[in-house]
Amino acid sequence: MSEQLSDEADEHRGGFPVWTASTAGPDFGRFVEAMRTLQDLAVSADAPDDVFALAADQAEKLNELLAPYKAAEGKAPAGRAIELPGRGSLLMLPWRIEKFDAEGVRSRGVFRRYHLGGNGAAHGGVLPLLFDDLFGMIVHAAGRPISRTAYLHVNYRKVTPLEVPLVIEGAVDHVEGRKTFIKARLTDESGTLLADGDALMVQLLPGQP
Ligand SMILES: CCCCCCCCCC(=O)SCCNC(=O)CCNC(=O)[C@H](O)C(C)(C)COP(=O)(O)OP(=O)(O)OC[C@H]1O[C@@H](n2cnc3c(N)ncnc32)[C@H](O)[C@@H]1OP(=O)(O)O
């Protein structure tokens, strides 16, 4: 990430660094998808111990392969590969953005086995992650200065299923000075409301992390 911030940029970015999109090659996307499947299997496999021993050997080898390439924040393609689900970050939900403009942001995807909470439903903790990431994008798409979430409220209206195509959409509700108030809804493809949320994003002051 670039550390070269002009005074003018600082007014709109607080102490936030400048980000650039990743130019990762095609195999990065394949790697991320394989890792997502591995996450699904890591939380669902019921294998004999000798199979887990082999899996551990291979996972340790993979760690050895990648460890020399560990980079500072903003350098790795994860999180910056905007063409990939979840921007290529395993932390993010593997959803794809289909609308991104000043009127709002919409993305689609599924919760996978990795996101299981209990009795077939998505874990309650992953919904705020989905909403918070969307809220950050909404602020950016609306052309608001870089802001951080001051609060985030999620109403769980129905249990959220796994492996079912879902859509989340939200927009700026209103702005008061440094404060951007945002609302969003998570539905299934027939429009059934699963959760809705709202947040306050506060514009960073110059130098604020
Ligand atoms: C391409 C790049 C895209 C980048 C997107 C970046 C997205 C990043 C998203 C996140 O960072 S999420 C991470 C989780 N959030 C945090 O870690 C934020 C931690 N908290 C803070 O950093 C500060 O509390 C914060 C910057 C949010 C506000 O601190 P300030 O000292 O600058 O503001 P202040 O406390 O004076 O509050 C400013 C206004 O907001 C109001 N406010 C602040 N927190 C509030 C709250 N929790 N509830 C209600 N109102 C709140 C506060 O009352 C006040 O209202 P008024 O101006 O009307 O007086």
46 alpha carbon – ligand 1 mean position (Å): 44
149 CA to centre of ligand 1 in angstroms: 6
209 Cα nearest atom in ligand 1 = 22
Residues 6+ apart with CB under 8 A from 58: none
**Residue 163: pLDDT band by 50, 70, 90 thresholds?**
very high
pLDDT band at 4 (very low <50, low <70, confident <90, very high): very low
Sign for the CA dihedral angle at 62, 38, 88, 141 comes to: negative
At position 63, the amino acid (one-letter code) is N
CB 181 within 8 A of CB 170: no
Please say whether the beta carbons of 183 and 197 come within 8 A. yes
pLDDT at 1 (0 to 100): 32
Residue 162 Cβ < 6 Å to ligand 1: no
Residue predicted with more confidence, 123 or 16: 123
Q: 89-109, pLDDT tens digit by residue? A: 999 999 999 999 999 999 999
Q: What pTM value is reported for the model? A: 0.92
pLDDT surpassing 80 at residue 126:
yes
Backbone dihedral angles phi then psi of residue 93, each to the nearest 5 degrees: -65, 140
Q: Is 146 in the pocket of ligand 1 (CB under 6 A)?
A: yes
Domains plus CATH for the chain? Answer: 7-203 (3.10.129.10)
Q: What residues are paired with 96 via a beta bridge?
A: 108
Q: What is the pLDDT of residue 19?
A: 74
pLDDT at 147 exceeding the cut of 90: yes
CA distance 169 to 106: 4
